[in-house]
Structure 1
Amino acid sequence: MNHYLSLCLLVCIGTHAQNTVVYEEGSIVPKMNLSEIAWMEGHWIGEAFGGITEEIWGPPLGNSMLFSFKLVVDNAVAFYELGHIRQVGETLVFELKHFGSDLKGWEEKEEVQRFKFVKREDNRIYFDGFTFEKISNTEINIYALIEQADEIKEEVKFNYKRQL
């Protein structure tokens, strides 16, 4: 089994961390418009998991913002993610799927990881286990609450710089 599979970004239900929050069942999902996170659009490069991370976010179009993620370790792709933030009624949802370097999906064919919008505060957009933070027009942070294979739960910070 690929050891990067253990790095699969899985939201840890019921766990709180410094920069992430979790959706509490039964909570009302607040109103939010896709235009409020349009600042994510662009080509972003950072470092995490011992390698280079790349995220490319498209503009809001068709009630969604499409993204791709790539982790490169030792000059080889470890895994990809493909997903979007989409407008659902008067709120947002963050959805993604993982793929190995051979583009074989990690989730079952019909399975999609979904993360509800929780709140917006200043320069941060909070989803269930993920936080998108605008530092400036050229720098962002994404915080992800992950679960390792040994069930240790931790928050990982991805710091990205915009590529021009």
Structure 2
Amino acid sequence: MQKILFTVLVFLTFFGITHLCMAQQESGSPEKVLTWSEGMDCPEAGLELVQWLTGNWEGSLEGNNQQHVVFSQSGTQMPGFARGWTNTGDVMFYEINVFTEVEGCLEYHVKHLSSNLSAWEGQDGYVRHRLVDYSDKSFYFDGITFVKNGSDKHIVYFRIPEGEQAGRIIVVNQERKPL
């Protein structure tokens, strides 16, 4: 009887620790998202680092839906389009984005639009995410990180920059889907 109780206790302990670790990973820890500081040197990098993102990606965004289509390279840019929508079909946002090479550095530029196509950043504005660091599977831009998780999956960690939820990290698990 004691052996059975011990086995159950070990199983429950292992399950609890594993579940806790998985929950922490899913919640997005601050070290998953880096910050650009003026005066930093960007690592030399080109679009070859993010070529694997070309294609159609879909995933859950805080219980809703998200899609990101990344087009193949044209010159020094890889443009993309993203959208987020609720489970009832209401559009939350659209996003025009581009991975671009700027003076030997890689940047990710984003322009957000509401469902009626009003620009969040104003007519000429956009959000500039400079590459801070990278490894063979992780690409750390200022405020957003892309982590390759096999050939058909990746995780995006995004830090909310302002407002009531400033600093909170959103985790989006994306999977490659046919268009």
Matched, 1:98 2:105: no
What is the match of residue 20 of structure 1? 33
For 2:84, the equivalent position in structure 1 comes to 71
Q: Which letter does structure 1 place at the counterpart of 2:112? A: H
Q: Distance in 1 between matches of 2:30 and 2:92?
A: 26
The answer to whether the 8 Å contact 2:159/2:166 transfers is no
121, 131, 152: which one aligns with 1:138? 152
Moved over 6 A (4+): none
Larger helix proportion of the pair: 2
Could you tell me the percent identity over the aligned residues?
A: 25
Instruction: Find the residue that maps to 2:108 and give its secondary structure.
Output: strand
- Choose which of 64, 74, 86 in structure 2 pairs with 1:51: 64
CA radius of gyration, larger in: 2
TM-score by length of 2: 0.79
Please say if 1:150 is aligned against 2:150. no
The C-alpha deviation readout for 1:104-162, integer Å capped at 9, x for no partner, is 11111111111111111120111101111111111011111114631542111110010
> What is the match of residue 39 of structure 1?
52
What 5-or-longer segments of structure 1 have no aligned partner?
A: 1-15
- The answer to whether structure 1 residue 160 and structure 2 residue 177 are counterparts is no
Structure 2, unaligned runs of 5 or more: 1-28
* Aligned 8 A contact 1:35 1:60 in 2: no
Read off the aligned partner of 1:33 and give its amino acid letter: G
Equivalent position SS for 2:48: helix
Amino acid aligned to 1:63: T
Say which of 93, 103, 115 aligns to 2:129: 115
Q: Over aligned residue pairs, what C-alpha RMSD do you find?
A: 1.4
2-structure distance, mates of 1:122, 1:92: 15
Alpha-carbon separation, structure 1, partners of 2:166 and 2:123: 27
Answer yes or no: is 1:83 the counterpart of 2:97: yes
* TM-score between both structures, scaled by the size of structure 1: 0.86
Deviations 1:69-120 (A, max 9, x none): 1111021111111110101121111101110111111111111111111111
Question: Given the superposition, is the C-alpha separation of residues 114 and 148 from structure 1 closer, same or farther in structure 2, using an over 3 Å criterion?
Answer: closer
- Relative contact order: is structure 1 or structure 2 higher (C-alpha 8 Å, sep ≥ 6)? 1
Q: Residue in 1 aligned with 2:20?
A: none
Please give the secondary structure, in 1, of the residue aligned with 2:75: coil
CA distance in 2, matches of 1:157, 1:46: 10
Report the structure, 1 or 2, having the larger strand content: 1
